[in-house]
Chains A and B, each alone.
Chain A
Amino acid sequence: MSQNSPHRSEDQAAAQQRFLSLFLRSEREIFRYVAALVPNVADAEDIVQQTAMALWAKFDDYDPALPFTPWACRFALNKARQWIERHQRWRTLLDGGLAEELARRREEMAPELETRLKRLENCLTRLPKEQRTLVEGYYYRREEISQLASQAGRTVVSTYKALQRTRHLLQACIQNAGEPEGNKL
C-alpha cells in the first residue's frame, strides 16, 4: 500500500493516537527507570524524549498483548546507554557494569521502594513550610536554583544543601512512618 494513500494516513493517525496514550501513561515510570542511571532531571528528560522517538519508530513491532512499560524500558536502557557513552562524566559514574547492576537491583527492590514511597505524599505535607516551598519550587515548578536561592535569600550552594537536607528528612519520614519514635517530621 502506498504510504500516501488516505487509508495509510488514517492507520498512521490511529497508531499515533494509540502510541501517545500508551506512552503518556508510562512516561513517569520510564523517567524513573532512566533516572536510576542518570539522576539529573534535565538529562533524564532528554533521554526519555529520545526514547519516545525510538519507541514510535519501532511501534509496529510492539505486541499489544504485552505490557507497554517493560517494552519501553528496554528502549530506555538502550537510549540511556548511548547517551552515557557520549557523556564522559556519566560514563565515569556508570562504568564497569554499574549501569546494568543498578537497573537490575532496582527491579529487585521495586516492591519495597513502592511500599516506602507510598508515604511520600503524606510526608511532604508534614515538611516545615520553608522546606516545602523549596521542594515545590525545585521539583514541581522547576525553578532555577539561582532563583530559588534569591527568593530564600540564600546562596546557590546553601540552597543545594537545603534541598539535600530536605530529601534526607523525607527519606527518614518514609522509612520511619509508623514508628513514632523515629519520626522526625
Chain B
Amino acid sequence: MKLVFPSHEFDEAVAAVCHGTASDEQMRLLNELLRRDPTARDEYLVRVELHARLASESDLFASVASESPDLGSGAIRGEFFTQGRQTTTRDPVLGSQARWMLALAACLALLLGGGWWARYRLLDDRPGATSRAVAMLNRVVNAQWTAADPQPHLGASLEPGTLRLESGLAQIVFYNGARVVLEGPAEFQLVSSSKALCRGGKLTAEVPPQARGFQIVAPRMDVTDLGTAFGLNVTGARTELHVFRGNVEFRTEPKAAAQNLKEGKGAVVEGAGEAQIVAADPRGFASLFDLQAKSVAAEAQRYDRWREANERLRHDPSLWIHFDFEHGSPSDWRLPNVGSRSATVPDATIVGCQWQEGRWSTKPALEFRSVSDRIRLSLPGTFESVTLATWVRVQGLDRKITSLFMSDGFESGTIHWVIRNDGVLGLTVIGPKADHQILTSPPVINSDQFGDWMHLAVVIDGHSKRVTHYVNGRGVSSHALRFAPPFQVGTAELGNWNPIGFPGNDPFLIRNFSGVMDEFSLYGRPLDASEIQNLYTGGRPQTDVPTVR
C-alpha cells in the first residue's frame, strides 16, 4: 500500500500523528510520502504548525474562552496528567552543582510542566475576567436552595440572577452595603448592587446611609429605601411592607405617586386593591432577626462536632502527627502534637506566624504572611504509605510555588506538598538516585476560593504505588508513582521550605504560604476515599458549604 497526496488517507494519518494515535503503518507510509513528495511535505508542515500553535498560544483563546478553567467543578478527573511530568537528573553524585541542577529541575518541571503556568498567567490577564458580582452570600442557617439551580456557597460572590431558597435563612450583602436576610421559601432576584426583585417570601433589609436609594421591587410594591430597616412579606397576591426604623418610599404602580412610610408603620396591598396603612408588626419577622444568634449556635455545634470527631481520631495508631491548633498560645512557640504518637514525635516549633480566627470564630489558627513564617517539625522513621491532610484558607498564590508541607532540601524518599500559582496541587517525591517525580492535579484552586476554608489531602500509597489528590473530600486526580517505598519526612516545614544547601535569598526558592491553617494531620498509612470524605464532612466550617466546588 502506498500513501498519496492529496487523499483522505493522508488527512487521517496527519491527524493521527498530531493526536498521538497513529499506527506504525501510518507512520511508515507517511514517512515514505513526505520524503518523496515536497508538496505533501509542505502541507504536512502547515497542518502540524497550525496544531502546534493551537497547543502553545494560549492568548489565541483569550477572546474566545467561554468559561474560566475551573476544572475542579467537573467530575473526578482521574489520571489527568497521565504523562506524569517526570524529570531525571542522571548525576549519581550529589555535588553542589548537581543539587543545584536538581533544585532547578524541580522548579522548572513544576513551572513548565504542561505549560500550565504560562497559560494561566495569560488567562489571568485576559479581558472579561472581571467579576459581574453585585452581592455576596455571607451567612446561612440550614439554607436549602432549589436543587436544580447552581448552589451558592457561603462567601460566594453573587452575580445578577435569581436565588430560590426553599428553606432556612440566608443573608446577602449587596456591594452598596445593603443587607438582606431571606427566609425560605423565597424567590429573590439580584438585579444590580442596589436593586433586587422579590417574587415571593419573607425578607428583612437593613440599609445603611451610604446605601440609600436601595430598591426592592415586589408585586404591586416598589420600595425605595431612605436609610432604614424594613421587612417585606410576599405571599401570593398579598404584599406587606413593615418599617422598623427610618423611613421608606413605595409605589403600588410604576407611575403612581410615591408614598412615604415612617418608622412603626406598615402598608399592605392585596390583589388590585389600594394600599392599607397598618401598624408595623415585627413579630412576623422574628426568625429573620434571629439569624445572628442562630448562626452562632450553628457554628458552635459544628465546632463541637469537629472536636468529637477528633477524639475518635486520637485512637488511630497511624496518626503520627495531628496539630489541631487548639493547644497553642500566643506566648508559646510550641505547637503540640496531639496525635496518638505524640510520645515519640516531638512538638513542632512556630516561627513567626500570627494567631488568628480559624474555621469557627472561637477556633485558633495560625496565619502565614511573611517570608519567614513557618512551622518546623521533625518526624523520624520511614513509611510505606503517607496521608497528609490540612484545613487551610488560602489568601493568595503570589509565589510560583507555595509550600503546604515540605521536607527540608531534597533527601531521597522525602516529599514536598505544594500549590502552584495556577491553582494546581503538586506532590513531589524525591527518588533514590537524586531523581524525582512531580504528581500534579488539574488546577483546583482559583481566586474565587481565596478566603474560603478548604480541606486538602494527598495520599501516597506505597503498596499500590499511587498518589491521589483530594479537595474538600473529593478525589481530583490520581497518578501512578514511579518510586517504591520507603518514604520519609525527616525535618520539614508547614507553610514554608528550608532548601538546605541552596541560598535562602533566591526569590526563586521562596515558597512561603500566604494564608491561614487551623489543622494538619499526617497518617502513616493510605487513607481511603471515604475516610478522607469523613475528615472533610467532620470538619467543614458550615453544613452549607457544598462538597464540590
Contact = CB atoms under 8 A, between A and B. Distances in A.
B503 A10 contact: yes
B128 to A, nearest CB: 13
A42 B51 CA distance: 13
Interface in A39-55: 39-46, 48-50, 52-53
B41 to A, nearest CB: 6
B11 interface: yes
Contacts of B503: 6, 9-10, 12-13
B274 to A, nearest CB: 51
Contacts of B50: 117, 120, 167, 170-171, 174
Nearest to A102: B45
B536 to A, nearest CB: 24
Contacts of A53: 87, 89, 101, 105, 108
A41 B151 CA distance: 36
Contacts of A185: none
A98 B109 CA distance: 30
Interface in B411-448: none
- Size class of the contact patch on chain B: 35 or more
Given A90-B27, A167-B51, A142 B114 contact: yes
Interface string B490-507: 000000000000110111
A45 B24 contact: no
Interface in B50-82: 50-61, 63-66, 69, 71, 74, 77, 79-80, 82
Contacts of A95: 31
A41 B57 CA distance: 13
Given A13-B503, A35-B48, A171-B46, A135 B27 contact: no
B53 A124 contact: no
Nearest to B123: A140
Interface in B1-42: 11-12, 15-22, 24, 27-28, 30-31, 34-35, 41-42
Interface in A82-125: 88-90, 92-98, 101-102, 105-106, 109, 113, 116-117, 120-121, 124-125
Given A16-B508, A44-B52, A102 B31 contact: no
A42 B56 contact: no
A135 B54 contact: yes
Contact of A109 (B34, B42, B105, B118): B42
Contacts of A96: 31, 35
A31 interface: yes
Give me the 5 closest cross-chain CB pairs, A-B, nearest first. A40-B20, A35-B52, A13-B506, A164-B15, A9-B503
Given A93-B31, A125-B63, A174-B50, 11 more contacts: A17-B508, A31-B56, A35-B55, A40-B20, A44-B55, A45-B115, A120-B57, A135-B54, A136-B66, A139-B54, A147-B74
26 contacts: A4-B96, A12-B503, A13-B505, A16-B104, A20-B508, A28-B57, A31-B55, A39-B52, A41-B55, A42-B83, A44-B55, A48-B112, A88-B24, A90-B27, A95-B31, A121-B60, A121-B63, A124-B60, A124-B61, A124-B64, A135-B54, A136-B61, A160-B15, A163-B15, A164-B12, A167-B50
Interface of B: 11-12, 15-22, 24, 27-28, 30-31, 34-35, 41-42, 44-61, 63-66, 69, 71, 74, 77, 79-80, 82-83, 85, 87, 89, 95-97, 100-101, 104-105, 108-109, 111-115, 118-119, 502-503, 505-508
Interface of A: 3-4, 6, 9-10, 12-13, 16-17, 20, 24, 27-28, 31-32, 35-36, 39-46, 48-50, 52-53, 56-57, 88-90, 92-98, 101-102, 105-106, 109, 113, 116-117, 120-121, 124-125, 132-133, 135-136, 139-145, 147, 160, 163-164, 167-168, 170-171, 174
